[in-house]
Structure 1
Amino acid sequence: MRIANNIIFIAVVSLAACIEGWQRGTRSMNSNETLLDSYEDESHERLKLKQREFLLTKEMDGQPVECCPSISEMTEPLGGKDENGDIVQLYSGDHMTKQRFYELSCRQEVVDKPCRFLDNKLHNQSKCVQKYSFSYAIIKTNHEHLRHEHHGNSPSSGSNWYLGYIRVRSGCACEVTPRTKRKRSSHRKNRKGGNHGGNHHKKAYEDPLKT
């Protein structure tokens, strides 16, 4: 009964969070779908400021959009990674007790591509990156020390199942990498060193008419 109660509680909480997140994700996803067709062309071509503003005004009617479009998904994984990076098995029963997770994934066509609507100077320094977070889940592991670290949260005595965490996709973020500065100090020193004393090696002028 204890494991069943825990599963039902997690299912109810997860379902409420999933419904709310799905509604937000659906609105966000729908608002970005009209821009996805032109994403590849825009990623390779630097649009001017007026062109970017026109694209937003025309296609999105002034609504906010994502620099890195994402897609909302409802997943039912059988396994995953915990907060320590270890592979764990997820509890999976019948249809009522299956664990479902609301995830936000980067669209395939935007992963590692330049972010949208950035200034031209930062266009090539930016890229869309998948982000992750952790969610409660009933998991199973073969490592005894990992189960003890969770302070005995096992649903039932003698069971390998316990309440832990699993990594889930939480969004698509835009990352900008600063440019690396070129080292010019040594080059300048060499140039100064080459000029210094250079006049001492110049040959004296000889008038060819005197010879």
Structure 2
Amino acid sequence: MGLFGPAELVSGLCRTDEQNPFPVFQDGNISPCFNQLVLGALPHAGMAIFSACYLSMQRHAPPQTPAPCSWTLRCFSALLVALLFSSDLLLVVLLQRDLLLLDLLSDGCSILAWLVHFSALMVLQRTSFRRTRGPPLLLLLVLLSIPNLVVTLINSCDNREYLNLSEPLVFARFVLVSARTLPLLVYLLAFAFPCISEAGYSLNINADDGSPLITEDNEQDTGELGFSTI
């Protein structure tokens, strides 16, 4: 009996040949194995780990004003992406396809990552980052998940089986992947164009400086000083 090593593990997970267990390309496209593991599970595992680092940040007392709508949109987007991955996971279980274990691993990592990311966003709203867009690392983590979505969409469009209406569960997976683009777009737009003015906030230098760049008191003092010197 041969030893069960990494090659056999990856081959069994991806349903590939043991001589080439981890192909990057397959049938002219990026292989599902590379897409789900390297472009999917790996970035989402990083998202879960680094987002969890913000869960222990010191929180402030509940503010009197609501959080800027950009934070609300990003939280809603993260939660919606997690729900879409959860729905896809349910379809994977119902379909019982050859790549069942690979899809379970990828979807499981994605659900965990976006739930932790959602929790981190909720925590950051109670910290000094509330007046800013938040740590740029969070945006980078979201951007790293986009290649997996793009490749999955391309592979699904090239596979006529996913566009076959006679297979409703398979077609539903394509619909879920396509729908995932909307909350990601909303997330990126909310980060790029934060609607902080609606909550009465001003532009800040950084998370440590919670005061506006120019305050009304300073403007009034400057005006009074200029008037007294005339």
TM surpasses 0.5: no
Specify which structure has the bigger relative contact order, considering alpha-carbon pairs within 8 angstroms and separated by 6 or more residues: 2
Structure with greater proportional strand content? 1
**Which has the greater radius of gyration?**
1
Q: TM-score, normalised by structure 1?
A: 0.35
